[in-house]
Chain A
Amino acid sequence: MGLSETYITKRDGKKEVFSLEKIKNAISKAFLSVGSFATEGVLTNILSRISITNGTNVEEIQNQVEIALMSERYYKVAKSYMIYRQQHLEDREVLDKLNFLMDYCDAANPATGSKYDANANVENKNIATLIGELPKSNFIRLNRKMLTDRIKELYGKELADKYIEMLTNHFIYKNDETSLANYCASITMYPWLIGGTTSIGGNSTVPTNLKSFCGGFVNMVFMVSSMLSGACATPEFLMYMNYFVQLEYGKEYYKESTKVVDLSNKHRTLDKIITDCFEQIVYSINQPTGARNFQAVFWNISYYDKYYFDSLFENFVFPDGSAPDWNSLNWLQKRFMLWFNKERTRSVLTFPVETMALLTKDGEPLDKEYGDFTAKMYSEGHSFFTYLSENADSLSSCCRLRNEIQDNEFSYTLGAGGVSTGSKSVLTINLNRCIQYAAKTGKFYMFFLEEIVDLVHKVQIAYNENLKDLYNKGMLPLFTSGYINMKRQYLTIGINGLVEAAEFLGIEINDNPKYLAFVQDVLGLIEKYNKKYRTDELMFNCEMIPAENVGVKHAKWDKEDGYVVPRDCYNSYFYIVEDTSMNILDRFKIHGREYIKHLTGGSALHMNLEEHLSKEQYAQLLKVAATEGCNYFTFNIPNTICNDCGTIDKRYLKECPHCHSKNVDYLTRVIGYMKRVSNFSVARQVEANKRYYATH
């Protein structure tokens, strides 16, 4: 067989007939580049050292040329040839980036164009978001290198290799690998209150009045968020604001909210002054942020019933010696919620994500006033989360910001101990792949899973060591200044593909003993290891991750590799989101205490409804949630937004109620936060269309 009939494999995988002339050319050029000349005889000697068979790829041929040049002692030529190859490699990388850049510019929206972490929180596609996209691959490489070096040091090379193997084969997924910062945090604002932002690198002094509170708060949230890759929760926002309103307008300001207090020509009432403050803060924080690739900061706040308030802040003292006051805060919380609900009919406002924390007793809210108010706000079309607990021993201000409150002590430097929490890092297990792989290879899935669970804990410990290094080098001012605490932030084990794994095992996805046992076995295993690896400085929790883009990726990768994939986006719930056979009560039940008990990091039930319910009905559903032990949930009724006249309506409508245009879009929660459906990535839009919205 002559060489001319041999086919080689090109870089793009295509086959091409091997051409001797091309190699000769390349070698001749290498000789010329060092001022030398290759005769036919020299070329023949070099080529005789090269062996090419069908399927040999370009890289292999070039490696052989390098070795042949050196064997024939043309060292200078070999060096030049190697440099030439390296330059081409770099050119190809730039070309890849350029292609990505072009694809991104042509994509339907930013979430679809993003290669690494599709995110609907970026509304516009422009030069700023493109700048954010380009270095992401380098961050991934850097993060992997830092992590594997540390794993090698702590546990040896074998485990480091295993981590990369599991990661590249999609058994596990490292969330937010495109960022260097730790994940998300719920902060105590006390360090800001007593020291301004100087301790975290800012230049503003302590807030002294309502105006400086509002401006300073926005700056502080932006600064904190720029040092996190995920959400920033400020569970004390309204309590602090209340303090400053009181300083200016008296302890009982809420009793005279209609009084004109503005001496300017505007003659604003106190109520107007306060809602103007809300407006300033909320609109500022919803702006796209330069430091976060044009994403808005992801801001969460909390509301409390009286019992939660008492329990969290009973020992709290403001710097002037005064204590937080419930009566005025009660008014301010309600005022904010009412204002925000109304404001959302004027503008698409994604943040803050709000959580109402209610204590329950005997299957109903203990604070009747707040139970009623919660039901009323839902019935008026406001969309927010509710967190229910029988004890004020835990709190949640976001799906993954649930924490056990270990100490409610008040500190004169750090404020309320109970509110500070968060997740340093999330590492997710793709349960569907793990379980199917175990079955394929004849292993009992719990044994295989145990290996993976052990691995992810060790990787997280390695991450924590790297974070400690950054901390010791003074790179993490949020920790050093006390906004968050190294020992109280969790290392989170995420799960995805739980429902799909159960389906593969032939388990029906509804409330039945087999499914419950499966859920408890799998999640129980993770919790066992969470406890096993817990130390004074390490805390682990487990979360069913919202998986805005991972749910889509896992389904895609698993399908490509021949696993059973029942849908294009893995569920983030205990039920199948498109299943019409499960009614609303079934869904609460399957997110009830028996199912979620090992999900220490939380999960959120998104109850999708087509129409709003009445206050009485929501009140009954709060009781249902309390009785079933479903601790974190929200109701989603898609809001309609007219693409022609801009009208926003809280109902799920086919046409605009104002101009009757049928060109309407919807606002709903992509995962935890509300966005226009058209901002979702294409894959998520498909998933959103399949969601079952109970019609009755």
Chain B
Amino acid sequence: MLLISDYDIVFQEVPNEVTLSLNLSDCPHSCKGCHSPQLQTKIGKELTTDIFSELLKKYGQHITCICFMGGDRHPETVQEFAKYLHSLGYKVAWYSGDTEKPSCIDLINFDYYKIGPYIEELGSLKSQTTNQRMYKIINAQKEDITNVFWKK
């Protein structure tokens, strides 16, 4: 079960997209210096297709992408929702804090995939020394686009 804490419309997290980003709680990682530690606890409510219908009714016409922020405890569920959103014609992004991609995940179900825990000394995606990677998935192939976050 995925727990959604809140959502926002974002522009910087996924390049060139107008993204509905879903903040998922119950994060299994406990990175030092985490920018939203409240998401390490179980807060919010269960993410269901009903919630998606409600959000898409409100914003569906205007967004180009939906981004899962977290959800690492249940990668299969994230993947199931990703398939569902793809079937509706949206691009799907996933910000995961995992070090390795879970074997059950087929990247064909995603358009953007960020991987890597936050390591304070190395910095976030905006830092050139970051361990985190942002991939754009084109024809099931990963293209590393982390550097687009560095120009700013």
Q: State the A residues within 8 Å of B (CB).
A: 583-586, 588, 609, 611, 613-617, 620-621, 623-624, 627, 651, 694-696
- A627 with B62: CB separation less than 8 A: yes
Question: Is B16 in the interface zone, CB < 8 Å from A?
Answer: yes
Chain A residues near B33: list those with CB within 8 A. Answer: none
Q: A617 and B18: CB pair below 8 A?
A: yes
Confirm or deny: B11 has a beta carbon within 8 angstroms of a beta carbon on chain A: yes
- Additional A-B contacts beyond A585-B62, A586-B9, A623-B62 (5; CB < 8 A): A583-B8, A583-B9, A585-B59, A615-B16, A620-B62
B9 touches A696 (CB 8 A): yes
Q: Judging by beta carbons under 8 Å apart, are B16 and A614 in contact? A: yes
Structural contact, B17 and A616, CB atoms closer than 8 A: yes
> Which listed residue (A584, A617, A694) contacts B17, Cβ 8 A?
A617
Question: Which B residues are CB-close (under 8 A) to A624?
Answer: 18, 62
The 0/1 profile, CB within 8 Å of A marked 1, for residues 16-35 of chain B is 11100100000000000000
Chain A residues positioned under 8 Å from B18 (CB to CB): 585, 617, 620-621, 624
Chain B residue nearest to A584 in the complex (CB): B9
> What residues of chain A lie closer than 8 Å to B16, measured between beta carbons?
614-617
Closest B residue, CB atoms, query A624: B62
**Contact status A611-B152, CB under 8 Å:** yes
Q: List, in ascending order, chain B residues with CB within 8 A of A585's CB.
A: 9, 18, 59, 62-63
Closest CB pairs A-B (n = 7): A696-B10, A616-B16, A583-B9, A624-B62, A620-B18, A614-B16, A613-B11
Min Cβ gap A576→B in Å is: 17
Give the residues in chain B near A620, CB-CB below 8 Å. Answer: 17-18, 62, 64
In the bound complex, how far is the Cα of B16 from the Cα of A156, in angstroms? 63
Docked pose: A584 CA to B59 CA in angstroms: 11
A-B contact count (CB 8 A): 46
Majority SS of interface residues in chain A?
helix
A584, A614, A615, A617 interface centre (most CB from chain B within 10 Å): A617
Q: Which residues of A contact B62 (CB under 8 A)?
A: 585, 588, 620, 623-624, 627
Docked CA distance A609–B10 (Å): 11
Q: Are A696 and B64 in contact (CB-based, < 8 A)?
A: no
* Residues in chain B near residue A696, CB distance under 8 A: 8-13, 21
Is B61 located at the chain interface by the 8 A CB criterion?
yes
B123 at the interface (CB under 8 A from A): no
Q: In this complex, what residue of A is CB-closest to B12?
A: A696
Once A624-B62, A627-B61 are accepted as A-B contacts, the answer to whether A617 and B8 lie under 8 Å apart by CB is no
CA distance A586 to B7 in the complex (A): 13
B37 CB–A CB distance under 8 Å: no
| Interfacial chain A residues near B10, Cβ < 8 Å | 696
Minimum C-beta distance from A580 to chain B (A): 10
The 7 listed contacts between A and B (C-beta, < 8 Å) are A584-B11, A588-B62, A611-B11, A614-B11, A617-B18, A624-B62, A696-B11
Cβ distance B85 to chain A, nearest Cβ, rounded Å = 17
Contacts of B9 in A (CB 8 A): 583-586, 696
- When distances are taken between beta carbons in the complex, the residues of chain B under 8 Å from A616 are 16-17
Cα of A620 to Cα of B17 in the assembled complex, Å = 8
Could you tell me the distance between the alpha carbons of A627 and B62 in the complex, rounded to whole angstroms? 9
Note all chain B residues with C-beta closer than 8 A to A611: 11-12, 152
Taking the nearest CB of chain A, how far is it from the CB of B23, in angstroms? 11
Q: Please, how many angstroms separate the alpha-carbon atoms of A624 and B60 in the complex?
A: 11
Q: Give the CA-CA distance A609 to B12 in the complex, in Å.
A: 11
**B11, A617: Cβ atoms closer than 8 Å:** yes
* A363 to B, closest residue via Cβ: B61
Return chain A residues, CB-CB under 8 Å to B152: 611, 651
Segment 46-74 of B: residues with Cβ below 8 Å from A: 59, 61-64
Residue of B nearest to A610 (CB): B12
Task: Establish whether residues A614 and B15, one from each chain, have CB atoms under 8 Å apart when the complex forms.
Answer: yes
For A614, what are the chain B residues with a Cβ–Cβ distance below 8 Å?
A: 11, 15-16
Q: Kindly provide the distance from the CB of A596 to the nearest chain B CB, expressed in whole angstroms.
A: 18
Most buried by A among B15, B62, B63, B152: B62
Chain A contacts of B61 at CB under 8 A? Answer: 627
> Which residues, 108 to 125 on B, are CB-close (under 8 Å) to A?
none
Quote the shortest CB–CB distance from A224 to chain B (angstroms): 41
Please give me the residue from chain B that is nearest to A609 by CB atom.
B11
Question: What's the Cα separation between A534 and B12 when bound, in Å?
Answer: 49
The complex places the Cα of A583 from the Cα of B17 at a distance, in Å, of 15
> Could you tell me the distance in whole angstroms from the C-beta of A334 to the nearest C-beta in chain B?
23
Q: Which residues of A contact B11 (CB under 8 A)?
A: 584, 609, 611, 613-614, 617, 694, 696
Tell me, in angstroms, the Cα distance from A357 to B59 when the chains sit together.
26
Q: Chain B's nearest CB lies how many Å from the CB of A695?
A: 8
Residues of A within 8 A of B12 (CB): 611, 695-696
Nearest CB on B from A627, distance (A): 6
Q: List B contacts of A627 (CB < 8 A).
A: 61-62
